[in-house]
Structure formats: structure tokens, C-alpha cells
Structure 1
Amino acid sequence: MTPAHGSGVSVEGGVDLDTPIARAARAAMTVREPESGDWPRPSRCRVMSVANQKGGVGKTTTTVNIAASLAMHGNRVVVVDLDPQGNASTALGADRTEGVRSIYHCLVEGEDLIKVAHPVADIPNLWCVPATIDLAGAEIELVSLVARESRLKRALGAYDTSEIDYILIDCPPSLGLLTVNAMVAAEEVLIPIQCEYYALEGLGQLLRNVELVRTHLNPGLAISTILLTMYDGRTRLASQVADEVREHFGELVLDTVVPRSVRVSEAPSYGQSVMTYDPGSTGAVAYMEAAREMAVAGAAQ
């Protein structure tokens, strides 16, 4: 039976192309081989800290998938894993075994960042500076070091960023010395906020810390991007939280909202971002759109 004209159903050779499987396949191809080609690149390297001291907000997931999306669309990206849990390293398939040179050695021993940045398998233009268990003690060791707040800035300063478009720093879920190092080294802060009841809990303290760093250590630091994550369209609460965040932060909030997605949660256990694990999933498409917004905004600066 032929669909009525204007029904919006695509048919080719008598086969219905508007099935759920077909839509997922088209979405996957859009992520892997976007019709629009490469996205615009910034005029200079954008160094961004991805921070929120509240755990479970999608911070590491956001870092990994934004980075993968940008890299898959022609940008050159380095992910610096500054979280002792090392989840970003795991999601990008980086080696975290004992003895591996990592971001710890850059912070504490002055190792060159380029020596510990490893290419990510299956995603050209993407590198990861891994975190190992050594980083767990770095907070204590940094206390006695000279210029303890700017150790990461020094490491990045010795890195040739002329061939890099983005450096994304995945911060730990705390406001200690590691997070301060990330904010001193960065120019921008990206804050993921989950669309749940406690979304704004502790956010005021994060904003105050950003202001303290800007006042005393890094005058160029600014909150540039806020991304709403874990959005559940079935609940009124999610919509209310999103509206409240947009009302408070205005244009800093990306239009794209990342929905709750099982695939996004599964991907790291396979040592992948969701962009390669299941590029047709709603989470992958949302992160791709969020990254595209960031790329366009960055090119306009």
C-alpha cells in the first residue's frame, strides 16, 4: 500500500524508510559523517575547565563526548583528566595502569605535557592526558610546592597549542587544589547542570570560587558555557529546573539539552565515548549538537 501524498513517510523501492531503525541509522550517519562537514575552528586554542563540585552531574561524560564530537568534526582536541577517579581516561581507552606517566607527573614532577598525551583510538585529532591512581595524593603533595595553584598552567604553557583547537580539563567533584589548578590554567569554565531537584545545590559556592580565582589568580577566567544534562522530558521537574537555569544564566546556557540515556552510561565500560559506541543514540546526537553550538560560538569570538 502506497502512503498518501504528503504523509511524510519516505518509500524507496517499496521499502518504508521512516521506521525507528531507519531513523537511528540516519542519526548515526549524521554523527559519523556529517553532511555539514568540518565545524569552524577557533582563532586560537580554547582552554576550558569542565567543573561542578557536585558529583553525578554528567561532568566527565560531558567532557569526553564534547571532545569526541569536536574531534570528529575537524577540531584538534586534548582532554586533560584531572580527576583521580580517572573516568575520562577510561572512557577514552587510555592506559591507567601503575607506572604509566600521567598528569600527576606534570603537576608534581614538571613532566612535559606532550610526553604524556596519548592519541585516542578510532578518533583522529583527539588526545588524552590520563589520570592514574598517583593523582589521588597530588592534593597533599601540591601543598608544599612552589606556585602550587599554577602547576597545570605551567605545564600547558610549555605545550605548543598552535596546532590544538581545544583543551578540555575534566575536574574532580570538589573545589580543592586540583580544581583550582584547572581554573588557573583555563580561560573558560563549562558547567554541566543536571535537570534534577538538587541541580543548583552547591552551585553558588562554585560561582564564588570562580570569582575568587578570577580576582586573585586568573583575571581572564570566565564562565562561558552551561549545559543542561540528564533531562527527563516525562517529568515536570526537569522542565522547571531547565527554565530556572535559563532564567538565571541567560545566553550562557546552550540551547541543546542532553537527555538521560542508557547508552551514554554504558559507553565508558567499553572504553569508548558514546559517539563511537552508539552514534545513533539520543545522547550521542545531543552531545554532537551541544558541541556544534560551542564550535560556532567559539568561532564567532
Structure 2
Amino acid sequence: MEIIAILNQKGGSAKTTTAVNLSSTLAEQNKKILLIDLDPQGSASIWLGFKNPSKGLFTLFTENVSILDIISKTCVNGMEIVVSSPWLISADKALSSEVGAEMILKNNLHGIDNTLWDYVLIDCPPTLGIISLNALTAASKVLVPIETHIMAIQGLAQLLNTITTVRDRLNPSLEIDGILPCRVNNRTRLSKDIISDLRSRFNSQVYQTIIRESVKLAEAPSFGKPITMYDGRSSGAEDYRSLSHEIIKRRKGK
């Protein structure tokens, strides 16, 4: 079971788009997937049709409920989800005085049968609090989606430093699986220059796959479907299938 945290401290980085559509393309390849929506905004949950969640995930952190008790099936065969809850907004405050609060998710996931899923993908909130630390402590890999814009690049170094700090203090096995250029407009020189700069600075940490700007990707949430079901022949579906192949290949190569 590979646990991948999808993280970027900047909003609008295609984090949820990647979490939902990577999950669905991995499931297409007969991989068993659990998507955990850790973002209190619940964008991934809403995308997949879960619009009125209960306390759900909040109870995992505050009432010692097993994650197995709060899993729901999705419209994608082989893909399950732990939906978010608005209650998560208060989780950082509720856990602030609890010793080892950053280990709750890890202890829960590592305490169950690791053959239940091939991949657990965690859609992290954009802020780095106890909830995000839970994701980074539980994960073995981090996927960093990044828009090909100057301001997004400027925040990347800080994000990578945060990941290094968590690895040094909480999770020695944590690694960056890859940096994913998203919302790429191949018609602009800026996108091409930023991708070239990323590859120059971070080498193999940057995925070969890029996610192109796509109207179909933007439309898919309104229909409650991942891109594979909304328009399986679109460039967005093609790009996320390419990413899923690359991630599987990297796992096999370890």
C-alpha cells in the first residue's frame, strides 16, 4: 500500500483535480484506491457527489473511530473515499493540546490490512496545520501539483523546505514522488520556460507528464464525475492516464 499526500500550500494549484482524476485513472488500471479528502472545503467529496457529509473524518481525529467505519464507495469501480467534513475546520484547535496528534492518521492507516488498497491518495488542505501534518506523517510519498506561473514557482522552495522539515522531525521515510506541472498552456512561452526551469532545478523530481489546460477538466466537477467518466477521450483524461502510468512505473522501479 503506497500512501501519497497531494500537497501544495498555495490554493488553486489543481490539487483536488489531481487527487480525483489520478485516483480514477489508477482505478482504471485495476488498482484499488482509497481517496482521503482532508480539506475542510471538501472539494473532492463534492466533486464525487458527497454534498452533505456528517462529522465523518472529524471523528477519526477526535473520537478514535476507525477509518474503516467512514469509507464510502464512489461512482468509479475500485475507488473508495473518506469524505471531508466542515467540522475539520476546528480540528487543529481541538487537537492542539493532544500529545502525538500528528500521528493519528498514520496509526490508523498502519493499523489495518495493507492489502486493502494499492494506493491511498490524500487531498491535503492548503494550510499547514495538524491535519496536513497528519497526511505528511502517514505518507511515504508527496506529489506536488504546481501551476506554471511565476508566483507558484516562488512558493515551491518554501513547500519543499516544509517537506524536508517533516521528514527530519516526524517521518524519515517521506520522499517527494514528483512535482507535477498543471494548467499548462503550450501556446505560451511562459509555460514552456517555467517547465524548463523546473526540470533544470529539480531534475528527475519533475514528472515527465504535464497536465494541460483543459475545459473538460474544468467542467467535470459540475457533472459529479472524474474526467475518465465525463470525457474519457479528452486531453485531461489522456494526461492523468499518463501520470498514473508514470507513478506505477516509479513504484515498480523502487
Shorter-chain TM-score tier: over 0.9
Kept in 2, the 8 Å contact 1:113–1:159? The answer is no
CA deviation after TM superposition for structure 1 residue 281, in Å: 1.1
What pairs with 1:39-118 in structure 2 (closer than 5 Å)? 45-93=1-49, 95-98=50-53, 100-118=54-72
Cα pair 2:55 2:87 within 8 Å, conserved: no
Matched residue, 1:256 = 209
d(CA) in 1 for partners of 2:220, 2:112:
30
Cα root mean square deviation, aligned: 1.2
Structure 1 stretches of at least 4 aligned residues deviating more than 3 Å after TM superposition: none
Q: Which one of the candidate residues 133, 140, 145 is aligned to 2:93?
A: 140
Aligned pairs for 1:118-267 within 5 A: 118-121=72-75, 123-267=76-220
Given that 1:103 and 1:129 are in contact with CA atoms closer than 8 Å, whether structure 2 keeps it comes out as yes
Q: Secondary structure at the match of 2:208?
A: strand
- The AA in structure 2 aligned to 1:157 is H
State the shift of 1:239 in Å: 0.3
The TM-score with structure 2 as length reference comes to 0.96
Deviation of 1:175 after TM superposition, in Å, equals 1.5
The alpha carbon displacement at 1:92 in A equals: 2.1
Deviations 1:244-293 (A, max 9, x none): 11111111211111111111111112211111111111111111111111
Q: Which residue does 1:31 correspond to in 2?
A: none
Which amino acid letter does the alignment assign opposite residue 210 of structure 1? I
Residues 194 and 230 in structure 1, CA contact (< 8 A), matched pair in contact too: yes
- CA deviations over 1:92-112 (Å, ceiling 9, x no partner): 22x3425x2522111221111
Between the two proteins, what is the percent identity of the paired residues? 35
5+ residue gaps, structure 2, are: none
Deviations along 1:110-135, whole A, 9 cap, x unmatched? 111011111112x1110000001111
Residue identity in the other structure for 1:297:
R
Q: 2 CA distance for matches of 1:186 and 1:214?
A: 10
Report the alpha carbon displacement of residue 242 of structure 1 after superposing the two structures with TM: 0.4
**What residue identity is the alignment partner of 2:40?**
P
User: How much does 1:146 deviate?
Assistant: 2.8
Whole-angstrom distance in 1 between the partners of 2:252 and 2:78: 18
Amino acid at match of 1:130: V
Partner secondary structure for residue 80 of structure 2: strand
> Aligned partners of 2:62 and 2:98: how far apart in 1?
8
Q: How many residues align?
A: 254
Alignment partner of 1:272: what SS?
A: coil
Three-state SS of the structure 1 residue aligned to 2:196 is helix
Unaligned runs of at least 5 residues, structure 1: 1-44
Deviation at 1:70, TM superposition (A): 0.2
Residues in 1 aligned to 2:248 and 2:47: alpha-carbon distance in whole angstroms: 22
Match of residue 16 from structure 1: none
**Structure 2 Cα separation of the partners of residues 143 and 85 of structure 1:** 20
Is contact 1:53–1:175 with CA below 8 Å preserved after alignment? Answer: yes
Report the Cα offset of residue 190 of structure 1.
0.4
